[in-house]
A and B are shown apart, each in its own frame.
Chain A
Amino acid sequence: MQEMFGLFSIAKLLREIIGQYVSNPQWVDLFMALINIGGIFTLISLAAVVLVYAERKVSAYMQMRIGPNRVGPWGMLQSVADMIKLLSKEDIMPTGADKWLWVLAPVLLFVPSAAVYAVFPFDQQAIFADLNIGIFYFIAVASQATLPFLMAGWASNNKYSLLGGMRTVAQTISYEVPMAFSILGVVMLAGSMRMSDIIAAQQDVWFICLQPVAFVVYVIAATAESNRAPFDLVESESELVAGPFTEYSGMRWALFFLAEYANLVAASVIATTLFLGGWSGPWFPGWIWFLLKISMMIFIFMWFRWTFPRLRVDQLMSFGWKVLLPVALVNVLITGIGIYTHKLFS
């Protein structure tokens, strides 16, 4: 059953069906590639719609409220209504804005958020590009999301937006370092940067058991990377209105939002792949396990957001450099010693 309902067998079935109608194999390949890309984009946009609703419900329940409950059954169509509102909203550009940067920023922000989905293993063999430097590609591409924030902040011609943009740069660069080191522990254990190899290395025991410290460091750094509370200094409402998003409205603003939730999913996917065994699990097809695990990770990120208050900028920086980075470095050292002694005795 695991094999039969796996994404790979579904894709194979689809390929056969298309093959009956299209004779040229190159055209079949093209169609399959388009379907795959479409699937990923559908996933991203659906994730944003579902997660906005989920976030509002989670926050409501944690604050002993009910949350959205008027639009559709249990308020489930709330985010659809929000989307329609955003689509029909007036597009306002502030006077004195740097026009090109301002227009490009939301689009460019979405590009790296979507590009990282290429290396995510959704199921057995269901990976768009199984690069031999998969996790490195993720770190490299995901960190590109910093620049559009600064662009948006600069182009808005607004001091609060600019402050927000500068904060993103400081924050993302600071937390990139411990995050890379926490991932390094896993890579050392797996002996490969290829996503499928990392999952294969976790057949017996998940890396969260072998690398608990790295997991904690990763989760903290990923929260900071995706600019979510308690590290949401970039868009901190009480200080900077909405940071770089302040001047945006309508669909442009929605793109920022889409990228934010795409980043949240991406952070959860990496946590799942590196520490929780990815898609592997008994009985059910891999993609169900994958969905379950990333939902759990997303819940944990939301749990953080609705529990902790925001840090101050100086606390954020000193925590990143003085606590998280040494912990991650020591973890790498201990992992190295562990691997060396393991090799000595076996």
Chain B
Amino acid sequence: MQGKGLLKGMHITFKRFFGKNVTIQYPEEKIVMSSRFRGGDLELDNNKCIACGLCSMACPNAVIELTTATDEQKKRRLASYIYHSGRCLYCNLCVEACPTKAIRWDKNYENSTYFREQLDVDCLAIAQKAEDAKRRSSDG
């Protein structure tokens, strides 16, 4: 019948009128990014890391700059781990290269900074800080 489509369209808009909105009011509300989202800074797990340097070698842009040191038990540990996010192209090769799954994306999408230097993230310091906070909260 002619004009059936009109009624169908009106039915759809009427349903939408009372339906749920999909808007997310950004500064107040934020979305949780999907599990395969590549973005934000690298999140380092210092306990898992064996300081092999494979991530740094996998990187096509030399974004990850790490130095290592040997501790008392003759074990190689990270001495520094700088992630130059300004050069990163979010190809995910470093995360794939890691044998112990010690790095992953923190999925933060608010990446803009006021100064170029702030793009260089000291992932080790962040990881240690997080560990300290965790230890402190579990102690008391």
Name which residue of chain A comes closest to B19, CB basis: A64
Q: Are B13 and A65 in contact (CB under 8 A)?
A: no
For residue B6, which residues in chain A have a CB less than 8 angstroms away from its CB?
Answer: 307-308
| A62 in contact (CB, < 8 A) | yes
Task: Give chain B interface residues in 13-33, CB to chain A under 8 Å.
Answer: 13-14, 16-23, 25
For residue A308, which residues in chain B have a CB less than 8 angstroms away from its CB?
Answer: 6, 9
For residue B10, which residues in chain A have a CB less than 8 angstroms away from its CB?
Answer: 303-304, 307
Q: Are A64 and B20 in contact (CB under 8 A)?
A: yes
How far, in Å, is A292 (CB) from chain B's closest CB? 18
Name which residue of chain B comes closest to A63, CB basis: B16
**What is the total of A-B residue contacts with beta carbons within 8 Å?**
36
| A66 in contact (CB, < 8 A) | yes
Name which residue of chain A comes closest to B9, CB basis: A307
How far, in Å, is B62 (CB) from chain A's closest CB? 44
For residue B19, which residues in chain A have a CB less than 8 angstroms away from its CB?
Answer: 64
Q: Are B13 and A64 in contact (CB under 8 A)?
A: no
| A306 in contact (CB, < 8 A) | yes
How far, in Å, is B136 (CB) from chain A's closest CB? 41
Known A58-B17, A303-B14: A65·B9 in contact at CB below 8 Å: no
Q: Are B14 and A61 in contact (CB under 8 A)?
A: no
User: Which size class do B's interface residues fall under?
Assistant: 10 to 19
How far, in Å, is B26 (CB) from chain A's closest CB? 12
Known A61-B16, A303-B14: A66·B9 in contact at CB below 8 Å: no
| Of B13, B22, B25, the contact of A306 (CB 8 Å cutoff) | B13
For residue B23, which residues in chain A have a CB less than 8 angstroms away from its CB?
Answer: 64-66
Q: Are B16 and A64 in contact (CB under 8 A)?
A: yes
For residue A60, which residues in chain B have a CB less than 8 angstroms away from its CB?
Answer: 21
Task: Give chain A interface residues in 293-330, CB to chain B under 8 Å.
Answer: 303-304, 306-308
Q: Are B21 and A303 in contact (CB under 8 A)?
A: no
| Of A58, A61, A304, A307, the contact of B21 (CB 8 Å cutoff) | A61
Complex CA–CA separation, A338 to B10 (angstroms): 32
Interface membership of chain A positions 246-272, coded 1 if the CB is closer than 8 angstroms to chain B and 0 otherwise: 000000000000000000000000000
Q: Are B21 and A65 in contact (CB under 8 A)?
A: yes
How far, in Å, is B41 (CB) from chain A's closest CB? 31
How far, in Å, is B16 (CB) from chain A's closest CB? 5
Residues of chain A having any CB pair with chain B under 8 Å: 58, 60-66, 69, 303-304, 306-308
Residues of chain B having any CB pair with chain A under 8 Å: 6, 9-10, 12-14, 16-23, 25
Q: List 11 A-B contacts (CB under 8 A).
A: A58-B17, A65-B22, A65-B23, A66-B23, A66-B25, A303-B17, A304-B10, A307-B10, A307-B12, A307-B13, A308-B6
List 18 additional contacts besides A61-B16, A62-B13, A308-B9; criterion CB under 8 Å.
A61-B21, A62-B16, A64-B16, A64-B19, A65-B21, A65-B23, A66-B21, A66-B25, A69-B25, A303-B13, A303-B17, A304-B10, A306-B13, A307-B6, A307-B9, A307-B10, A307-B12, A307-B13
